Amino acid sequence: MHGHSAMTNQTDHTLRAVVQDVLGLPAERVAAFTATTGLFGHLPELDSMAVAGLLTEIEDRLHIVIEDDEVDGEMLETYGALLAFVESKRGR
Amino acid sequence: MIAGYPSPAGGKEYAVGFDRRRAHRVLVLPALFDEANKLRHFTIEVLRALDVVGIDGFLPDLPGCNESLAALEGQSLASWLLAAEAAAHHFGATAAVSIRGGALCLPPMLPVIRYAPVIGASVLRGLLRARVIASKESGRPESSERLASQGRRDGLELAGYHLGPQMIADLETAEPAGGASITEITQSDVGGPGLWLRVEPDHNPAQAARLASLIGAALA
């Protein structure tokens, strides 16, 4: 096996699109996100209302349900952590 | 451009109006709460774009919002529907256009055009989620179930908005309202990401122009 599975690629692609739409960032900047790119606490744009909007949009576009008690700082700390969380929800 | 209409609760509410006594006169019901703030500029630009394509537009302050002197805590979707009906009557509206949660208080007697409508439960869920996230961050976690039941009893402050118990209860069950006829405009019809998703209020002239032309086509 080389690289990511098809589902990971698709999840990654959709998640980047959501982050781009919510934060209004240029596509190039979002495309350059790596697993360690900081999100919550690093991006000044991301306040609690923004996080709520981001999660709701992730739910809608990736067909998952995120419980409020699953939301913590760690999962939103980096792009990689958020992607891993979403993948674990989709894998269930 | 600044107009007013008689509030059903007495007194007057303001509205923004583009009135050239044309055949098509639309009442525009704005998005609700934080989305109203994010879409304020966009909404005004849609009115301007409607003016350009020959359609009169009226954007009322819902009681408790913007310049209104009424208390937001005393409002409900029912009181906003009454206000929308009063504004529609006052301005002689021939149709109503709603943006996002504005669809929850559309006057049933008019043809309606709903742009990206949402159910009340989604509006409430977003507001509750933001509060739960903020309280967790500040080290005093709250659960959304407990907040919702507290809200139904006493009302709640969500994202800086003081919502009364009736508003909370109304939002839990509200569906986009019908009208004499219904046209739905989705975000994919307009193109690009919805501006309500954005963290900061923003405007997109191309989307405003496209939405105005879709509204014009629906009225034709």
Q: What is the pLDDT of residue A48?
A: 82
Q: What is the pLDDT of residue A26?
A: 86
Identify the segments of chain B with pLDDT beneath 50.
Answer: none
Which amino acid, residue A65?
V
Q: Which two tokens stand for residue B94?
A: 């021939």
Closest CA to A54 of A83, A33, A91: A83
B181-185/B156-158 β-pairing: unpaired
For residue B157, give the DSSP letter: E
Q: What is the pLDDT of residue A1?
A: 43
Cβ distance of B130 and A56 shorter than 8 Å = no
Q: What is the pLDDT of residue B25?
A: 98
pTM of the complete model: 0.90
Cβ distance of A68 and B131 shorter than 8 Å = no
Any idea which residue has 């839990």 for tokens? B172
CA distances from residue B179 to A1, A55, B53, B187, B215 in whole angstroms, order as listed? 56, 32, 24, 21, 15
Asked if B18 and B36 touch (Cβ cutoff 8 Å), the reply is no
Exposed / middle / buried, residue B41 (Cβ in 10 Å: 0-12, 13-18, 19+): middle
For residue B198, give the DSSP letter: S
Q: How many CB pairs under 8 A join A and B?
A: 59
Q: What is the pLDDT of residue B127?
A: 93
Q: What is the pLDDT of residue A7?
A: 66
Interface-testing mutation among A48, A72, A77, with chain B (most B C-beta atoms within 10 A): A48
Q: What is the pLDDT of residue B138?
A: 86
State percent of chain B over pLDDT 90.
Answer: 87
Cβ distance of A21 and B131 shorter than 8 Å = no
Asked if B186 and B116 touch (Cβ cutoff 8 Å), the reply is yes
Measured CA to CA, the distance from residue B139 to residue B145 in angstroms comes to 18
- Crossing angle of the two packed helices B165-173 and B144-154, in degrees rounded to 10: 120
Measured CA to CA, the distance from residue A86 to residue A81 in angstroms comes to 9
Cβ distance of B133 and A23 shorter than 8 Å = no
B173: phi > 0 → left, psi -120 to 50 → alpha, else beta; which? alpha
Measured CA to CA, the distance from residue A11 to residue B9 in angstroms comes to 50
- Flag whether residue A45 sits within 8 Å of chain B, measured between CB atoms: yes
What dihedral angle (degrees, nearest 10) is formed by the CA atoms of A50, A18, B101, B172? -70
pLDDT in tens, B68-94: 999 999 999 999 999 999 999 999 999
Least confident of A51-55, A85-89, B82-86: A51-55
Q: What is the pLDDT of residue A50?
A: 83
Any idea which residue has 């692609």 for tokens? A13
pLDDT tops 60 at residue A39? yes
- Flag whether residue B159 sits within 8 Å of chain A, measured between CB atoms: yes
Q: Is this complex's ipTM strictly greater than 0.95?
A: no
